[in-house]
Chains A and B, each alone.
Chain A
Amino acid sequence: MRLAGRARAIAGWALSSLSFHRTRSFLTVVALGLATALLIATLGFATGYKRSVARDIAAMGYQILVTGKGCPHEAATLILRGGTIPMYLQEEVYARILAQPEVGDATRFLMQSVADASDASRQIYVGIDGRFLALKPDAKFQRGGWFSSDTAAEAILGYNVAEYRRLGLGDRIRVQGEEVSVRGVLDRLGSQDDGMIFLPLGRAQILFEKRDRLTGIGVRLKELDAAGTLIDRLYEWPSVQVVRLAQVQATLLTTLAGIRALLLGFAGLCLFIALVGVFNVALITASERTAEMGVLRALGCPRATLFGLVWSESLLQALGGVGFGIVLASVLSRSAARLATAWLSFVPPATDVALTPGGVALSGLLVVVLCLGAAALPAWKSSVVAPSRVIRGAP
């Protein structure tokens, strides 16, 4: 109880001192808060990005992507993001793939990106076959259902498309100059699919003049262990590129690692500047309050307590900065995610700054520990002030 009382008294002292030097304390807390927020946001964005990439890839429902010749990773990224890939597979490849013993299921698709005449945005159209939605673990219709045939002038809308364009069942939209009617609307998936318009594969090949052409084939394996065998075999086929989505995920995360290092470096620089501020403020405090420290020593204050008094001011500033940083990171997380998005080639749509308790605690702890480290020397200088400083005339 006595210890708790003393700790309360020391905290009261520190608070009183900090509030006495309001501007100085406020600026220090703000600087620490900004550095903390940046640190939390960087770590949080990396976590959020990893989760989103993993979720998007899992949402595709297949483990291997077969595309036409070219860079398979670029193709995979484009397919994840949505876009036109200027390399195609022949339809007949699909039948050959289905015949492979390792293949459990497979789906064909043709993806095209078309500029919207009304604004600068682009709309992604995907021609799909009957297995496309069946492979997606979470896909289900919010309204309506599957196409009446493979060449029907019909469309299934991603959730966001229906929402933003206020389209419902039976509404008609124009695709490549032809009207198609809305046959179904998918429930929200939290992936790129929410922003896509799906067409029957046969109709899409006609509309985009890509008869017998496919952008890709998604393959679900019977056994994951068989991936290597299948990929080795498919490498022998002409005009075919194969990539494991796990590899795409790794590639995307490698890109993220670079960005994260850059952001962490920036956060580290901000933190360093804030810590220099803490050190400076504590040093100024120590030098301008020499008389005060001398009085405390003259009154019998032990060095350790004096050290603790000065240190506790920095501790409170650090805790204030961390608290402010957490609030700031929460408030600005969306903006931070948008900023980081500008530097990355692919960011899943639902990527946010994931403020995990672990990440927040780690960032907070780091700031507090570094802050206490920065204040240690000034606190020590305060604690060794000679009590004789209070005697008039003493040099």
Chain B
Amino acid sequence: MSAVVVAVDLCKEYKQPDQTVIALADVCLSVSAGEFVALSGESGSGKSTLLGLLGAIDRPTRGSVRLLDKCIDSAPAEELARLRREHVGFVFQDFLLVRHLTALQNVRLPLLFSEQPGEIGLAARLLDRFGVGTRARHRPGALSRGEMQRVALARALVNRPQLLLADEPTANLDARNSQVIWDLLEELNREQGLTIVVATHNPELAARARRVIRLDRGRLVSDDVHT
């Protein structure tokens, strides 16, 4: 299978006034099309940083990333933005829905700046599919956390991405909602063959993924594929 994203010797450092924080050090990995990968590790192990680099949200201090066969290390910011809006879907831990927009408007948001003619009914269908169709006209403030994350998931999928990156999507949810979100991710991977990389510090959920990459203090310490 072809690689959707390839990282080679990835390093990310944050320079502080008094020290340099190494968030990621010499990480190499390749994610193939259709894979469901769980990034596990303690808080601060570098999972979110790695997701940001894989999804062209951030640039590495050293190393390189190939996303959909394109080297993105030196690509201009607007080219990275184009890659993200056309090929990558993001789900964030804090949902990060726009407060003044309704659930449906939030889901349609990526279509607002997409050059491709968006399918106007897709947003509503995704909300229906994720069980929040009746909440389409509500603003995030009126939604529960579980509902907000399902809206965020619908938003990540509305541009029909090839790669879905989810940063601790269940961290702020109760057990039942965590289960619902994880089930949805597995369903998307199984039925649509969507490539998914999920960061989680929950070992039980991570164990459900076919491939689990473990990070510790910015270093990749294991990369296990379950058969």
Q: Residue of A at shortest CB range from B171?
A: A392
How far is it, in angstroms, between the C-alpha of A340 and the C-alpha of B105 when the chains are bound? 50
Asked if A13 and B101 make an inter-chain contact with CB atoms under 8 angstroms apart, the answer reads yes
Selected contact of A393 from candidates B16, B44, B81, B159, CB within 8 Å: B44
Q: When each residue 104-120 of chain A gets 1 if its CB lies under 8 Å from chain B and 0 otherwise, what string results? A: 00000000000000000
The smallest beta-carbon distance between A2 and chain B, in angstroms, is: 7
Selected contact of B81 from candidates A16, A20, A302, CB within 8 Å: A302
Collect the chain A residues with CB atoms within 8 Å of residue B27's CB. Answer: none
Query: Which of A292-300, A326-334, A346-354 is found at the contact surface with chain B?
Result: A292-300
Whether B75 sits at the interface, judged by CB under 8 Å, is no
Q: When each residue 356-393 of chain A gets 1 if its CB lies under 8 Å from chain B and 0 otherwise, what string results? A: 00000000000000000000000000000001101111
Asked if B48 and A392 make an inter-chain contact with CB atoms under 8 angstroms apart, the answer reads yes
Collect the chain B residues with CB atoms within 8 Å of residue A9's CB. Answer: 108, 112
Asked if A20 and B99 make an inter-chain contact with CB atoms under 8 angstroms apart, the answer reads yes
Collect the chain B residues with CB atoms within 8 Å of residue A301's CB. Answer: 81, 85, 112-113
Asked if B98 and A292 make an inter-chain contact with CB atoms under 8 angstroms apart, the answer reads yes
Q: Residue of A at shortest CB range from B85?
A: A300
B44, B82, B90, most chain A CB atoms within 10 A = B90
Q: When each residue 141-164 of chain B gets 1 if its CB lies under 8 Å from chain A and 0 otherwise, what string results? A: 000000000000001000100000
Q: Residue of B at shortest CB range from A18?
A: B100
In the complex, the number of residue pairs spanning A and B with C-beta atoms less than 8 Å apart equals: 97
Asked if B52 and A17 make an inter-chain contact with CB atoms under 8 angstroms apart, the answer reads no
Asked if A303 and B58 make an inter-chain contact with CB atoms under 8 angstroms apart, the answer reads no
Whether B35 sits at the interface, judged by CB under 8 Å, is no
Asked if A295 and B96 make an inter-chain contact with CB atoms under 8 angstroms apart, the answer reads yes
Interface size, chain A (Cβ < 8 Å): 31
Asked if B100 and A298 make an inter-chain contact with CB atoms under 8 angstroms apart, the answer reads no
Asked if B86 and A300 make an inter-chain contact with CB atoms under 8 angstroms apart, the answer reads yes
Whether A251 sits at the interface, judged by CB under 8 Å, is no
How far is it, in angstroms, between the C-alpha of A20 and the C-alpha of B98 when the chains are bound? 11
Q: A292-B99, A300-B82, A305-B112 are in contact. Are A387 and B14 (CB under 8 A)?
A: no
How far is it, in angstroms, between the C-alpha of A386 and the C-alpha of B98 when the chains are bound? 17
Selected contact of B101 from candidates A6, A16, A305, CB within 8 Å: A16
Collect the chain B residues with CB atoms within 8 Å of residue A387's CB. Answer: 57-58, 81, 84
Whether B78 sits at the interface, judged by CB under 8 Å, is yes
Interface of A is mostly: helix
Selected contact of A298 from candidates B44, B84, B98, CB within 8 Å: B84
Whether A291 sits at the interface, judged by CB under 8 Å, is yes
Collect the chain A residues with CB atoms within 8 Å of residue B195's CB. Answer: none
Asked if B117 and A2 make an inter-chain contact with CB atoms under 8 angstroms apart, the answer reads yes
B82, B92, B98, B117, most chain A CB atoms within 10 A = B98
Collect the chain A residues with CB atoms within 8 Å of residue B93's CB. Answer: 392
Asked if B113 and A298 make an inter-chain contact with CB atoms under 8 angstroms apart, the answer reads no
Whether B173 sits at the interface, judged by CB under 8 Å, is no
Asked if B57 and A13 make an inter-chain contact with CB atoms under 8 angstroms apart, the answer reads no
Selected contact of B48 from candidates A13, A20, A299, A393, CB within 8 Å: A393
The smallest beta-carbon distance between B91 and chain A, in angstroms, is: 11
Asked if B113 and A392 make an inter-chain contact with CB atoms under 8 angstroms apart, the answer reads no
The smallest beta-carbon distance between A190 and chain B, in angstroms, is: 53
Could you list some 5 contacts between A and B, CB below 8 A? A16-B100, A300-B159, A392-B93, A394-B52, A394-B58
Q: A296-B98, A299-B113, A391-B51 are in contact. List 10 more A-B contacts (CB 8 A).
A: A19-B100, A295-B92, A299-B90, A300-B86, A301-B85, A302-B81, A305-B112, A305-B113, A394-B52, A394-B58
A-to-B contact residues, CB < 8 Å: 2, 6, 9-10, 12-13, 16-17, 19-21, 291-292, 295-303, 305, 387-388, 390-395
B-to-A contact residues, CB < 8 Å: 14, 16, 23, 44, 48-49, 51-52, 55, 57-58, 77-78, 81-86, 88, 90, 92-94, 96, 98-101, 105, 108-110, 112-114, 117, 155, 159, 167-168
